[in-house]
Structure 1
Amino acid sequence: MTTRNASFRARPLTRAIALAGLPLMAAMSTATLAQDSQSAQSDEVEQLRQRVDQLEKSLKGAVSSAPELTEDNPYILREGDGLKIGDTTISFGGFIKADAIFGSGGDGTINTYSTGLPRNFASYAASGNNSWKTGFSARESRFSFGTQTDDVAGHTLRTYLEMDFNQGDDAPGNEVVSNSYAPRLRQAYGNWNGWEFGQTYTTFTDLAALPEILNQGKMAAFIYTTQPMIRYNMAAPGGKFMVALENPSDGFISGSGTDFSYDDQSYPDLTARYQIRGKYGFYSIAGVLRNLEDDASDDEELTGAVSLSARIPTIGRDDLRMQYSYGALGRYMGLYTYPEVDLAAQSAGEVKALKSYGATIAYRHFWSPTWRTSIVGSHTEITSDLTNPVATPVANGTLSYFDSSTSAHVNLIWQASRKLELGVEYAYWDFGNIADSGSQQYEQVMASAKMNF
């Protein structure tokens, strides 16, 4: 009896239907109940309870066997921020970024490499032009696709494709009428069982330490390079260890068509990074081993570089970010501020790696949950003795007139919402002359609106 009553109370709808039928059943039994003894009445009550119990079970079966209603197609289901088709979830994202740039030295930022390169800034600094020019661009806008497929040979397969429109000076397109520019591949790689195949940021850097500035990656000394690779990731004490074979390159072809490169290299660049992650921040040590060679002179040099990075939480949401690098940094640092080799030595048929160092430090402060500022200082300098240190590029072994570069950034960013970010930034550059102790300066003010989707 106790079990039945508990079951009966647990189903209010069933109980209500069953109780609604009690008066009818009771009326049919009235005559009999009046004539029977007290024990007979008890039997009838028990039978009535059994009928109610049977009715409850019947209704329960009817409800549980009803088909479930679904609004989604069973083959296309929403999962988080992705769309599932078959056994693969697809996501789409990116942002629209609108920039207004005001540059000194007659820099009009003519919408080719919309926000410039350090080498461009150096040429404007030395131009002797005191006027400020204005440029607008949306070419840093970006879109991306990602996929995740479960149980591919027992492991999850993830892929990522990312493109923007920020092509080089000689790319088709102009700002005369349409400002039309073709998409450009930034990243395209897949991850499976610890392996990564394709193009992404070099293992030689740690993006956790990347300072937050509006002018994407434009600092004197930070390692900021993407290239094709094969990389393996594994767990290590306190974090992870990564090792990769990456695309080798030792040259540069200038906008005028001058070829400063050697030949394609025989061996890939070998890179590795060990990152420690914890409540005290991110800490990395990385290295790259490179073989630079020249078929014409049958000369080559095995060289490399090291880098240390950190991102340290401080007060509240604030953090301190640092990176120091030394060695044959070449194209890996400062968006190719210096060549891979001494160009004067190259013209003499000798492979001589150009050694330099670079240091970057940044502090990010949150004024409130929606307002923040980053203050960034970055410096790089050639440490090798140049073969022919005169003031003319190439003859002095470098790509331009300077052998040191310093940048400073300060910005104010308003995070209006997760989808909208507005900011303004001031940048100051100083380029040290090779020929004397003087230097040249360049300044830039930039305003940006970034709309994520």
Structure 2
Amino acid sequence: MKTYLSCALFCLSLSATSAHATSIELGGFLKANARYVDGNIAFQDSWSGGGRVVDPAKRTQFSAQESRFNVKLNHEQIFGFAEIDFVGSSQGNPIISNSYAPRLRHAFIQYQGITAGQTWSTLVNTSSFAETADLGGPLVGQAMVRQTLFRYSTPHWQFALENPYTYGTTAQHNEDKTQWIDTSNDYLPDTIIRYNQAGDWGNVSVSALIRYLDANDSKQWGSGLSVGAKLFTFGRDDLRLQLHYGNLGRYVGTDAARDIIEGEIETSLSGMFAYRHFWSERSRSTLFYGRTTTEAEQTDRYHWGVNLFTDLTPALSVGVEFGRYEIQDASTDTTAPSPRGASNYAQLSMQFSL
């Protein structure tokens, strides 16, 4: 009996030691939005680089689906992070429950410079994201991709192999309609090399992307360059910038550009800037603009806005934002010109950060 008791106590002590060696930190925020959209681009909970042109309409929607929760795990040299939110995962409806399912944003492990799992693509410089009420800011001009990757990082350099995926349409044959690309032949990982530099002045990153796109036996190499920066200016003000050029496709613009258009690899030019000015210790505004243009599909889409945020307490902020999202795509087909449109929006947000 004493032997069994000793074994039980020993096992409990090991469990306690293990538990004490791992620190757990919970985080995230609760966010409530009231959003009004007026125009002929269909309502979106937040503007992406896509959009449908419809008959002019006005719509107001309230939502809390952007709320998110995360957990950080530290065990000796191992760091783990997982995060969920509820964006775009509606299970109910506005008639009764407005239910939303949890959606995985991040789930990754870090150990001695190695990152493995789902997180921001190495192409993404998160410090250059604007502070906005509209989720993500001017996504139409930004690198905004989360995916599974394996990355090695040094103080200045990052080398990554990331999940391959080809987004686009096949070449037309005779009178056949354009078909979406079959992605079952994506077999070479996307490769990204990034250089980072930081100081009291802010930070800047330069990234290069190399891809092999063999969907539908297309056998095409693609490449692109990306720059992201956050630069401090006067007082607490800062300027945030992104510039992207090349065969970046799905990596930039959140549906503003595809990887391949009718069998031809796409080339895009994208950019965004955001200037944040502090009116006081508790209040600040951001003026932002983002845009993407493409060569093959001839898309031209942009988003601008201005906002005002105030901290009611250190953990609670409220903000109001006004802006416009516009599609001005060109078309080589005179019989079926591309639709064009614009929508103005206003949004009120309140956020409690945990």
Which range, TM-score by smaller chain?
Answer: 0.7 to 0.9
Runs of 4+ in 1 over 3 A off after TM superposition: 106-109, 435-439
Equivalent pairs, count: 327
Q: 2:286 aligns with which of 361, 366, 374?
A: 374
Q: Please give the residue correspondences for 1:379-398 in structure 2 after superposition, counting only pairs within 5 Å.
A: 379-382=291-294, 384=295, 386=296, 398=297
1:101–1:115 contact (8 Å) kept in structure 2: no
The residue type equivalent to 1:88 in the other structure is: T
The residue type equivalent to 1:368 in the other structure is: S
Q: Structure 1: where are the runs of 5+ without partners?
A: 1-72, 78-83, 151-155, 347-351, 387-397
Q: 1:232 aligns with which of 139, 148, 152?
A: 152
Q: Which residue of structure 1 aligns with residue 194 of structure 2?
A: 273
Are residue 357 (structure 1) and residue 291 (structure 2) matched? Answer: no
Q: Deviations over 1:54-81 (max 9, x none)?
A: xxxxxxxxxxxxxxxxxxx9x979xxxx
The residue type equivalent to 2:313 in the other structure is: S
Are residue 447 (structure 1) and residue 333 (structure 2) matched? Answer: no
Q: Deviations over 1:124-168 (max 9, x none)?
A: xx3231x32101111110000111011xxxxx1000000000125
Cα gap change, 1:118 to 1:260, in 2 (>3 Å): same
Q: Deviations over 1:222-259 (max 9, x none)?
A: 10110000001112xxxx21110000111269xxxx96
Q: Please give the residue correspondences for 1:11-160 in structure 2 after superposition, counting only pairs within 5 Å.
A: 85-105=19-39, 109=43, 114-120=45-51, 123=52, 126-129=53-56, 131-150=57-76, 156-160=77-81
Q: Deviations over 1:248-283 (max 9, x none)?
A: 111269xxxx96233231100001211100012101
Q: Which residue of structure 2 aligns with residue 392 of structure 1?
A: none
Q: Secondary structure at the match of 1:448?
A: strand
Are residue 251 (structure 1) and residue 170 (structure 2) matched? Answer: no
1:106–1:133 contact (8 Å) kept in structure 2: no
1:108–1:134 contact (8 Å) kept in structure 2: no
**Aligned partners of 1:189 and 1:438: how far apart in 2?**
41
Are residue 414 (structure 1) and residue 310 (structure 2) matched? Answer: yes
The residue type equivalent to 1:404 in the other structure is: D
**Aligned partners of 1:335 and 1:218: how far apart in 2?**
11
**Aligned partners of 1:135 and 1:228: how far apart in 2?**
33
Q: Which has the higher helix share?
A: 1
Q: Please give the residue correspondences for 1:280-291 in structure 2 after superposition, counting only pairs within 5 Å.
A: 280-291=201-212
Are residue 429 (structure 1) and residue 322 (structure 2) matched? Answer: no
CA apart distance, 1:108: 7.7
Cα gap change, 1:301 to 1:363, in 2 (>3 Å): same
Q: Secondary structure at the match of 2:260?
A: coil
Q: Secondary structure at the match of 2:54?
A: coil
1:433–1:440 contact (8 Å) kept in structure 2: no
Cα gap change, 1:418 to 1:259, in 2 (>3 Å): farther
- Normalized against structure 2, the TM-score is what? 0.86
The residue type equivalent to 1:334 in the other structure is: G
Q: Which has the larger radius of gyration?
A: 1
1:221–1:334 contact (8 Å) kept in structure 2: yes
Q: Secondary structure at the match of 2:94?
A: coil
1:283–1:309 contact (8 Å) kept in structure 2: yes
2:301–2:329 contact (8 Å) kept in structure 1: no
2:226–2:244 contact (8 Å) kept in structure 1: yes
**Aligned partners of 2:189 and 2:82: how far apart in 1?**
23
Are residue 325 (structure 1) and residue 256 (structure 2) matched? Answer: no
Q: Deviations over 1:7-65 (max 9, x none)?
A: xxxxxxxxxxxxxxxxxxxxxxxxxxxxxxxxxxxxxxxxxxxxxxxxxxxxxxxxxxx
Q: Secondary structure at the match of 2:195?
A: strand
**Aligned partners of 2:311 and 2:208: how far apart in 1?**
36
Q: Which has the higher contact order (CA 8 A, sep 6+)?
A: 2
The residue type equivalent to 1:292 in the other structure is: L
Cα gap change, 1:437 to 1:160, in 2 (>3 Å): closer
Q: Which has the higher strand share?
A: 2
**Aligned partners of 1:176 and 1:162: how far apart in 2?**
29
CA apart distance, 1:444: 1.0
Q: Structure 2: where are the runs of 5+ without partners?
A: 1-12, 170-177, 332-336
Q: Secondary structure at the match of 1:119?
A: coil
1:107–1:133 contact (8 Å) kept in structure 2: no
